[in-house]
Amino acid sequence: MIDPYVRLEALDMRYPGHHAVKDLSLDIAGGEFIALMGPSGCGKSTTLRMIAGLEQPTSGRILIGGQDMTHVSADRRGTPMVWQNLALFPFLSVEDNVAFSLKMRGDSPASRRRAANEWLEKVGLGGMGKRHISQLSGGQRQRVAIARALVTQPSILLLDEPLSALDAHLRVHLQTELARLHRELKITFIYVTHSQSEAFALADRVVVMADGVIQQAGPPRAVYRAPVNGFVASFMGMNTRMDGSVAARSDGMIWVDCPEGRIAVPDTVAAGPGAALSFVIGADRMRLLGGHERAPEGHPTVAGRVVGIEFVGSTQTIFVASDTGRDFRLQRLDLGDDAVLTPGTPVTLTWDPRHAWVLPHP
Amino acid sequence: MMRAVIRNLYLAALAIFLLTPMLVVVVFSFDANRFPTLPWGGFTLAWHREALGDALIVSAMWNSLIVSLGTAVLATILGFCAAYLDYRYRFFGKRSLMLVIAVPPAVPVTILGMAMLAALSRTPMFGTPLGVIVCHVAIAVSFAMALIRLRLGDLGDDLEQAAWNLGASQRNGLLHVVIPFCRPSLIAAFCLSAAVSLDEFMVAWFVGGVNETLSVRVFNLLLGQVNPKINAIGTLVLATSLVLVSIAQMSARVGGTRKDAA
């Protein structure tokens, strides 16, 4: 990456009895849409609040646009944030909420009003400036919060789980809206979320965090298909993890001895015979074998029984317990044949061994 | 059905029990009889007119006005500062400080009056309206702080931080976010402090010297003779207090219903 716009250097945040962020370094390019994700308590919100200047890191540096901002107070950073609970000012009108930062900056009342209404127009709330916050719906309030943060035309927008308080329908709608704003404004968006679907849908790059440490950073597809460790693999969710020990190497494949038998995986790591090895297979890479169908040469097969089916609209997820006691997941287009796959039905799973992904770090 | 009747009867009885003494004062202040006796001697405004014509009573009214306004202003400011201190900061001795602020209303007023007399008699404030104000503030500030602290509890951490995040300095955040948010409770605290000061007698009597407040004037009138003017003053004081307390209650309620607006 050339010329990062935001640079976090060895950030450390310690609270009494809690080490929230550990030696975190991250470069974010100008105009990038980056998503920090992870389970609650992983340090993603603390990292965002440190960028905004609302928390003072115990050690490390924060550079924005080449300037050291570590000790600059929050009101001088120009890093507006959209809050999880919105934090709109209930005693101000919609217009005055949006114009707040302009007022703090000392703009004249006339230019404040003009800019605020321009932004309300842009987020689809034209003509609502005089309303009271309590008269708005949840989605409208969310738009006010976004307009309020963007009215000063910042070069960075911070978003702290901005959609988590909305219902599913609105969430998808505002997600599209945010993507459009990012395209049009071309500024840096730093987005904190625990939702994988939001992060994948919006971000150029996702950063998976756990225990105050970055586990993996990269484009959504890379993180999804090639998790670096067991944590990221299980956080991505839609896959099955298998463990075994290395038996042999041949033709660019490693043969792994698992309870399910000897299974081939791509040879992407240096591991000697006998070494423990873990790999994952994406749920959408799994396939059920038909009644008398035989798996292609070299493709592993695992016998088990259906545990349950989850219907997710156009796709379905089938949960299978293998005879060895491992839980497998299979995702496929909804074929409408649920009737034959009642719980307890014996099935055989198979996959292309080239689609297995060996975890570099278990 | 039966239940509702019993409940309403009970509430009516309670209201009568609470209101009768005050109602007696109001009714007889308009009674043409010189002494409060039945039957009713006819409607008159003579006692009100006489009370308002009495130079001592008028000067006591001015004193009361100055003292209660001064008390209300100071108690509201100090009450806000104390409440914000408690809300925002953590420091050694905070609990003790908050206890000290809360304690005066719980001390018997005679003891409070004596103590304040002893303390003030060594200062030039003794016997001045300012002296009475200072003592009344000590009592009223605990009510003011309690009201404002309650409201600050609804503010949460995010609003003030959002203000900083949007470019407000600490001072501007306080001025443009915290204080406007607390406005209903500030109005309530102001009115309640004024009412507390207006109605307070013992301390004003101890430290006021020749600067009689209205309640002290009433007491001194009573020492002389029973005079229907007292009923007239009582009616005026009662009306003022009612207005102040009503505003305080309404403001506090506005604060309560708006908190979920964010």
Strand-pair category, A261-266 with A276-282: unpaired
pLDDT digit string, tens, across residues B46-86: 888 988 888 999 999 999 999 999 999 999 999 999 999 99
Contact (CB<8Å) A90/B258: yes
Tell me, yes or no, if A83 comes closer than 8 A to chain B by beta carbon: yes
Arithmetic mean of pLDDT over chain B: 89
What pLDDT was estimated at residue A19? 94
What pLDDT was estimated at residue A352? 95
What pLDDT was estimated at residue B261? 39
ipTM of this predicted structure = 0.87
- Using CA coordinates, name the residue in chain B closest to A105: B167
The percentage of residues in chain B with a pLDDT greater than 70, rounded to a whole number, is 97
Interface of B with A (CB under 8 A): 156, 158-159, 161-169, 172-173, 176-177, 180-181, 183, 258-262
Contact (CB<8Å) B167/A152: yes
**Average pLDDT of the segment spanning B165-177:** 95
Residues A152 and A105 sit within 8 Å (Cβ to Cβ): yes
Tell me, yes or no, if A16 comes closer than 8 A to chain B by beta carbon: no
What pLDDT was estimated at residue B8? 93
Residues B228 and B235 sit within 8 Å (Cβ to Cβ): no
Residue A50 to residue A52: CA distance in whole angstroms: 5
Structural domain includes residue B18: no
- Using CA coordinates, name the residue in chain B closest to A141: B262
CATH class of A4-230: alpha beta
Q: Where are the domains of chain A?
A: 4-230, 238-358
Q: How distant, in Å, are the alpha carbons of A292, B34, B166 from that of A95?
A: 68, 63, 15
The more confidently predicted of residues B34 and B212 is B212
Structural domain includes residue B241: yes
Q: By residue range, what is the domain housing residue B213?
A: 56-261
What pLDDT was estimated at residue A1? 46
Separation in Å, CA of A52 to nearest CA in chain B: 7
Contact (CB<8Å) B168/A76: no
The percentage of residues in chain B with a pLDDT greater than 90, rounded to a whole number, is 50
Angle at CA of residue A145, ends B150 and A32, nearest 5°? 130
pLDDT digit string, tens, across residues B173-194: 999 999 999 999 999 999 999 9
How many domains are there within chain B? Answer: 1
Residue B198 to residue B186: CA distance in whole angstroms: 18
Structural domain includes residue B24: no
Separation in Å, CA of A314 to nearest CA in chain B: 37
Contact (CB<8Å) B165/A104: no
- Using CA coordinates, name the residue in chain B closest to A148: B166
Matching CATH number, A238-358, of 2.40.50.100, 1.10.3720.10, 3.40.50.720, 3.90.470.10: 2.40.50.100
What CATH number is associated with residue B67?
1.10.3720.10
Contact (CB<8Å) A101/B183: no
Contact (CB<8Å) B165/A76: no
Residues of B in contact with A133 (CB under 8 A): 261-262
Lowest model confidence (mean pLDDT) among A51-55, B136-140, B203-207? B203-207
Structural domain includes residue B248: yes
pLDDT digit string, tens, across residues B76-102: 999 999 999 999 998 999 999 999 998
Residue B182 to residue A91: CA distance in whole angstroms: 10
Contact (CB<8Å) A81/B165: yes
Q: Which residues of chain A have pLDDT under 50?
A: 1-2
Contact (CB<8Å) A100/B166: yes
